[in-house]
Amino acid sequence: MSTPQVQVKDHRALRFLTAGSVDDGKSTLIGRLLFDSRAILADQLDTLEKRAAGAPIDLSLLTDGLEAEREQGITIDVAYRYFATRQRKFIIADAPGHEQYTRNMVTAAAGSDAAVVLVDITKLDTHASPMPLLAQTRRHALLAHLLRVPSIVFAVNKLDAVSDPAQAFAATKTALLAFAQQAGIAVAGVIPVSALRGDNVTQPLAADWYDGPSLLQLLEALPALQERKDGDLLIPVQYVSREGEGTGNQPRTLYGRVAHGRVKAGDTVQVFPSNQTAVVAEVRLAGDVADVVEAGQSAGVVLDRQLDVSRGDWIATPSTIHETQRFSATLAWLDTEPAVVGRKYWVRHGNRWVQARITAIESRLDIHTLEATEAHQLAVNEIGHVIVETQQALPVEAYESNRVGGSLIIVDPATNRTSGALLVNERSPS
């Protein structure tokens, strides 16, 4: 049976992560993509062959680079790999599957264009009705959805290890789509694969029960993240550079990645938190003077007059920043110490650090039923709806409309651990 080709419309590099439960085969899948696309250096291949000592090479070792990962057979840190086909370039993030390292998965999801959530079909009772999914499969899919990863793909792995792959895949696909519909997740595809054997990873599956694309064909066709280039300007200032030497009126360049909108010479802008306005005298891109710099690019902004601007400030279209000290948010908690009401934390918004506290935990999401339940604290890996108050006003936006202005991280002041990720729902809730 011939497999239909997927038309490639977007040739920009695709950033995607692999996620799922422990031992679902994420690292092996990435190793298979690298191996089949000839993205492995000769010395890497030689090392794998020597380690295998005549047995089939372990492709997971291409991403599991830490010795602790090899000893335990699990992924601990996020490993980034790069490869390319004739159609486009790819940046892959191999995220850990163990619950202890969920924070690493959240890091990998931030800024990703797609998420490939692996489902180990050997761990599921494909004859059960309804068929239960693993908790980490549900959690990682929900986190990717909450973090606004545009395309979510389920890769049903290890089909070579089941006696009736057609029945097993059909049952798993039904369960995944039912879960996605209940959670409001738009699924870009459900793909059967065998990462170990290479079935339907880069080459189409030769089976009469599946006529869809291979995983690589689907990835080649997925759109890259579109930044919001129209509308109001928003830039978090990351670095301030003074030009020239000596004394006198020396221009300063304000550097930051444009969150949304565009900036060009002649634009009137406003700086937060001082709320002073100025006119853009010059914009720079990669060190050179540019006509315009758009969302997704890093800009150097020179103003027509000296203002007190430092790292953590924001540059925006005048009268578009609405600061607040109180907002509601979805909180993904990542620390072993539970999130509790009233305790002070550090939060980072853009490049600004302020103190904050959780004033209310309104609910906790049950990942099995997807219902909001009453909660007084959030344990590690739990997701909840909270109210946050900050010591200083921040120009937060709804995460749904802006991932930069609508996201914050929480850090424990005692341990300096990254404790949670906040996704703003609305400012100043009643």
**Tens-digit pLDDT string for the chain (430 aa):** 444 556 666 667 899 988 887 777 887 888 888 888 777 656 666 776 677 666 666 676 666 553 443 444 444 456 778 888 888 999 988 777 556 666 677 777 877 899 999 999 999 999 998 899 988 889 889 888 888 899 999 999 999 999 999 999 999 999 999 999 999 999 999 999 998 888 999 888 888 999 999 999 999 999 987 667 778 999 999 999 987 665 556 778 999 999 989 999 999 999 999 999 999 999 999 889 999 999 889 999 999 998 999 999 999 999 998 899 999 999 989 888 999 999 999 999 999 999 999 999 999 988 778 788 999 999 988 889 999 999 999 999 998 888 888 999 999 999 998 899 999 998 765 4
Q: What is the pLDDT of residue 55?
A: 65
What's the confidence (pLDDT) of residue 75?
A: 41
Measure Cα distances from 153 to 117, 126, 141, 337 in Å. Answer: 6, 20, 9, 32
In 3-state terms, what secondary structure has residue 404? coil
Instruction: Check residue 161 and give its pLDDT.
Output: 92
Return the pLDDT at 4: 52
Residue 6 DSSP symbol: P
Residue 263 vs residues 47, 232, 255, 259, 317: alpha-carbon distances, Å: 49, 9, 12, 11, 9
- Residue 273: asked if its preceding bond is cis (omega within 30°), the reply is yes
Q: What's residue 102's pLDDT? A: 66
Predicted local confidence at residue 269, as pLDDT: 97
| Residue 27 confidence (pLDDT) | 79
Q: What is the rounded CA–CA span in Å between residue 218 and residue 157?
A: 16
Residue of 321, 341, 330, 334 whose CA lies nearest to 277: 321
Cis peptide before 130 (omega within 30 of 0): yes
Residue 175 to residues 125, 152, 178, 184, 189: CA-CA distances in angstroms?
11, 15, 5, 14, 13
pLDDT score of 58: 67
Global confidence as pTM: 0.77
